[in-house]
Structure 1
Amino acid sequence: MPELPDITVYTERLADKVQGRALQRVKVLHPFLLRTAQPPLPQAEGRRVVGIERLGKRVVLALDNGLFLVIHLMIAGRLRWLPPGGKPPGKISLAVFEFDSGTLVLTEAGTQRRASLHVVADRAALQAMDPGGIDVLTADLATFSERLLHENHTLKRQLTDPRLFSGIGNAYSDEILHRAQLSPILLSKAMQPAQVAQLFDATRAVLTEWTERLRAEAGDWPEKVTAFHPQMAVHGRFGQPCPVCGTPVQRIVHADNETNYCARCQTGGKLLADRALSRLLKASWPKNVDELP
């Protein structure tokens, strides 16, 4: 799922393309996509775009009649920009937003249709869609600490909770925790103040660095938005060497999510139980990274 760095770059490039321009026509190609009936979508046509915003992991187009178009990409949704006259890709296109400067196309790979489009009437309705997570890049340490310690859950769960923190998902939470050298299963209320500050600094640093990197790589438009990058330290790098200590990166698999971590850097060498594999191996499950074959 595109997270804060990806959505930030999308909004910046989209603002370059359509800020101040009229949205000539919107075509929804799959009926499941549009999740609202009022206001009707045709009210957005012919209106000028007065702003592009990020709402958590959503892209928001603000129109001059007070309406907002809210695009949630979910896991496999992506945005493409086509020059005037460009043809949207076939089966994966869900909607097209036509401007005189080009066409914005919302696509979604795979068969699970999770991406969504909402039309909301005003700023109050838009704010009602906000889960409430803070923007760590503008928050101070005290605010970060209050959110982190509000409930007692694992750090992985806390960082990815949109009610607590805005725009952080599976990929960047792995990178943040590796940078902070903290276990993904450490309970938030077991943290020392120094660890909270360490996590705060790591969160800001990772999100800033990756936003800058993706911004530089995007050029005119971000064409390859993915949760997996070869420059990442641990996310998506199971079995590959940690860039800090060289220990093979480990993982915890649960449902559709995978947590990647370095046992030596983050858990004192302890291997965290994988719900599927550790139960299968039982007594044969290695407890320490040094026991790995």
Structure 2
Amino acid sequence: MPELPEVEALGAFLREHAVGKAVKRIDVATINVLKTFDPPLTALGGLTVTGVSRHGKFLDINCDGVHLVIHLARAGWLRWSDSLSPRPPKPGKGPLALRVHLVDGSGFDLTEAGTRKKLAVYVVRDASDVPGVARLGIDPLGPEFTVEHLHGLLRAAGRAQIKGVLRNQSVIAGIGNAYSDEVLHAARLSPFHPASTLSDDEVADLHRVIVDELTSALTRAAGLAARDLKDSKRSSMRVHGRTGQPCPVCQDTVREVSFSDSSFQYCPTCQTGGKVLADRRLSRLLK
């Protein structure tokens, strides 16, 4: 899933390549991708892209005051083309969900792999009209995200598992499954650690790691073409997506905990005192 660094990098790419250009038309290939009806999608035709911003994991394309807001979900992506095919796409064919044509012939496709279609597009007069944007918590790279603020969030979370708190978009906006794995590994914390029981020193260290991990990811992504961002993210991961491989810090084997529709990775030596956490999926199979 694209998370804060990748969405920010996509925004930077569009600011360089799309701002100042007018929208020629938008083709919808998968009708359920569009979550709003007023203003209509056709209202964007003829408007000029005046800015691109990010709200958590939402991408906000401002077209003369009408906003095209995109959430790429788990398997969505944005594919830019300097010379986009002018032919309207065939509905329901392949991964293409929506195509944005700009007047100079360039533009981008929104695609989504797999069968679980969650990619969402909104056309609104204000980004806060999107329910998911309105519910967002604090941006971890904003000036308001201080150690004291994080401490308050963790206290309010009670004994909720720290992994879930980091991923909760209503608490901290922009961190998903991958970067929460990386943050917890760097902070040497178990994903199941109760949020409110972290010491003052642990909270301060967690705050530092969150900012450092996201800032480093942004630095790696800077200047990359949209097509290269996925590989950059994948190659930089220390534990996420590396089940069975050696931890780059201690050489222990990276382990996985699987759920019905997701999984996370961690290092027992670095994060759980050598304890291997129960894999929920494997436990069910052994019963």
Is the aligned partner of 1:146 residue 2:152? yes
Provide the C-alpha distance between the structure 1 equivalents of 2:128 and 2:235, rounded to a whole number of angstroms: 41
Which secondary structure state, in structure 2, belongs to the residue aligned with residue 201 of structure 1? helix
Give the letter aligned to residue 242 of structure 2. R
- Structure 2: gaps of 5 or more residues: none
Provide the C-alpha distance between the structure 2 equivalents of 1:226 and 1:126, rounded to a whole number of angstroms: 30
Structure-to-structure mapping, 1:199-218, within 5 angstroms: 199-216=206-223, 218=224
> How much is the aligned-residue C-alpha RMSD, in angstroms?
2.0
Structure-to-structure mapping, 1:49-88, within 5 angstroms: 49-64=49-64, 66-86=65-85
Which is further off, 128-137 or 269-278? 128-137
Q: Number of aligned pairs?
A: 279
| Contact 1:252/1:260 (<8 A) preserved | yes
Provide the C-alpha distance between the structure 2 equivalents of 1:259 and 1:213, rounded to a whole number of angstroms: 23
| Contact 2:58/2:133 (<8 A) preserved | no
Give the letter aligned to residue 116 of structure 1. A
Structure-to-structure mapping, 1:103-252, within 5 angstroms: 103-126=107-130, 129-138=133-142, 139-152=145-158, 153-216=160-223, 218=224, 220-225=225-230, 229-252=234-257
Give the letter aligned to residue 140 of structure 1. T
Is the aligned partner of 1:100 residue 2:103? yes
| Contact 1:228/1:236 (<8 A) preserved | no
User: Of the candidates 264, 267, 272, which is equivalent to residue 262 of structure 1?
Assistant: 267
Once the two structures are TM-superposed, the CA of residue 228 in structure 1 deviates from its matched residue by 6.3
C-alpha distance 227-32 of structure 1, shift in aligned 2 (>3 A): farther
| Contact 1:19/1:49 (<8 A) preserved | yes
| Contact 2:220/2:232 (<8 A) preserved | no
Quote the sequence identity (%). Answer: 37
Which is further off, 154-163 or 126-135? 126-135
Which is further off, 109-118 or 125-134? 125-134
2:45 corresponding residue in structure 1 = 45
Once the two structures are TM-superposed, the CA of residue 259 in structure 1 deviates from its matched residue by 1.3
2:282 corresponding residue in structure 1 = 277
Once the two structures are TM-superposed, the CA of residue 214 in structure 1 deviates from its matched residue by 2.1
Question: Could you state the TM-score of these two structures normalised by the residue count of structure 2?
Answer: 0.91
| Contact 2:221/2:232 (<8 A) preserved | no
Provide the C-alpha distance between the structure 2 equivalents of 1:4 and 1:166, rounded to a whole number of angstroms: 8
| Contact 1:34/1:116 (<8 A) preserved | yes
C-alpha distance 214-249 of structure 1, shift in aligned 2 (>3 A): same
Provide the C-alpha distance between the structure 1 equivalents of 2:86 and 2:229, rounded to a whole number of angstroms: 19
